[in-house]
Amino acid sequence: MPTAAKCCAPARFPKRSWRRRLEADELAKWRHAGELARDALQYGRKLIVDGADVLAAVTRIEDYVRRNDGGLAFPVNIATDEEAAHWTPSSRTDRRFAAGELVKLDVGVEIDGYIGDNALTVEIDSSRHDELRAAALKGLEQVIELAAPGVTTGVLGSAVQATIEACGLRPVANLTGHGIKRYDLHSGLSIPSVGGHRGPALRKGDVIAVEPFATNGAGRVGGKRNSNIYHLAALRRVRDSAAAELLERIRSEFHGLPFAERWLHAFSDEPRKPLQRLLRSGAVGFYPVLDELGHGMVAQAEHTLLLTSGGVEVLTA
């Protein structure tokens, strides 16, 4: 699930100290999260077919994760055609996949807060945009090949840009990959898909989600539409008792990670009105749907990487 410049500002809460030398149990949890995220993604791609109900497909993917003793690091993201990122169905969504759609599927899993994040692009019953999918994947492969301790994020961004532009396409400049820490999906480190800035050097022990987006449009995204994906923005007093109770459940259940309105029905008979009150109060925010500003088609590819002394371990491979 990518980061877009200035699109949203999830609350920052104190995290446990981060150690560069991973303990064995930490490494096992990173790997477990990555493997389950990979399996859920591959399970989900089979559900993206002409005529399939979108809400039912997303629910099946999320249930797959839970059945296998994982948690959701964020709601399953479905972005179609010129939508680049940040959309999930609500509990009332009535929509079906259609032939010819270019669908980005982004799945995140957490195991005790350790996160695996990966994505792919499916074109339903068509090969019209194979070059877009191939370009995004080539950009990702370049990062996997180059990333190592001491390599700057700017070097990675330049490599992605050159790779995608060599395919006659554009990277999405204002969507980036991101660092990951325990219970922290976007930890502050950005992995760009364009050059122009040196950026910080990667360090051994860093965990990063790398997700190039390729487009035949303008190469930038924006938007204000509600994606049905929410985040805890601030812990503040809320007068309405139902909203205050919901806020506490959001805090305790999701640990600062993104969540969906449909998840709230597990502990509230009617969460929509309290959720709207929390949005108006600023206690909760939403991620906007990010559309390609030139109305171009968009493809995405993503893996989660662990920086090792010799390069990277692809946790979601």
**What pLDDT shows up at residue 15?**
45
Per-residue pLDDT of 263-283, as tens digits, reads: 999 998 899 999 999 999 999
Q: Does 281 lie in the same domain as 193?
A: no
Q: List the beta strands (DSSP E) in 233-283.
A: 259-260
From 117, 206, 261, 291, the catalytic residue: 117
As a whole number of angstroms, the distance between CA 266 and CA 3 comes to: 28
Q: Which residues contact 213 (CB under 8 A, 6 or more apart)?
A: 2, 84, 85, 136, 171, 172, 175, 193, 298, 299, 300
Instruction: Give residue 292's pLDDT.
Output: 99
Given the residues 62, 211, 261, 291, the one annotated as active site: 211
Of 156, 166, 257, 168, whose CA–CA distance to 212 is shortest?
156
Beta bridge partners of 307: 312
Same domain flag for 294 and 266: no
Residues 72 and 56: their CA atoms lie apart, in Å, by 16
* Count of structural domains within the chain: 2
Q: What is the pTM of this model?
A: 0.93
Question: What pLDDT is attached to residue 22?
Answer: 73
Q: Which of 35, 106, 110, 291 is catalytic?
A: 106
Instruction: Clarify whether 178 is annotated catalytic.
Output: yes
In-domain check, residue 8: no
108's enclosing H/E stretch is: strand 102-111
Q: Kindly state whether residues 161 and 201 are assigned to the same domain.
A: yes
- Could you tell me if 182 and 268 lie in one domain? no
Q: Classify 297 as helix, strand or coil.
A: coil
Residues 72 and 202 in one domain: yes
The answer to whether 302 is a known catalytic residue is yes
Choose, from 123, 231, 302, 303, the residue flagged as catalytic: 302
Domain-embedded: residue 217: yes
The answer to the question of residue 35 being in a domain is yes
d(CA 313, CA 317): 9
For residues 38 and 145, membership in a common domain is answered with yes
- Check 86, 186, 231, 303 and give the catalytic one: 186
Instruction: List phi, psi (to 5°) of 62.
Output: -65, -40
Residues of the chain with pLDDT under 50: 6-7, 9, 12-20
What pLDDT does 5 receive?
60
Question: Do residues 81 and 92 lie in contact, with contact meaning Cβ atoms separated by under 8 Å?
Answer: no
Q: Is the dihedral of CA 234, 240, 243, 245 positive or negative?
A: positive
Q: Is 117 a catalytic residue?
A: yes
List the domain range (segments joined by +) for residue 105.
20-225+289-314
Looking at residue 184, which CATH number applies to its domain?
3.90.230.10
Report pLDDT for 21. Answer: 61
- Give the burial class of 88: count Cβ atoms within 10 A of its Cβ; 0-12 exposed, 13-18 middle, 19 or more buried: buried
Options 32, 129, 178, 303, the catalytic residue: 178
What was the pLDDT predicted at 11?
A: 53
Question: Is residue 165 located within the same domain as residue 193?
Answer: yes
The verdict on 102 and 131 lying in the same domain is yes
- Give pLDDT, residue 4: 80
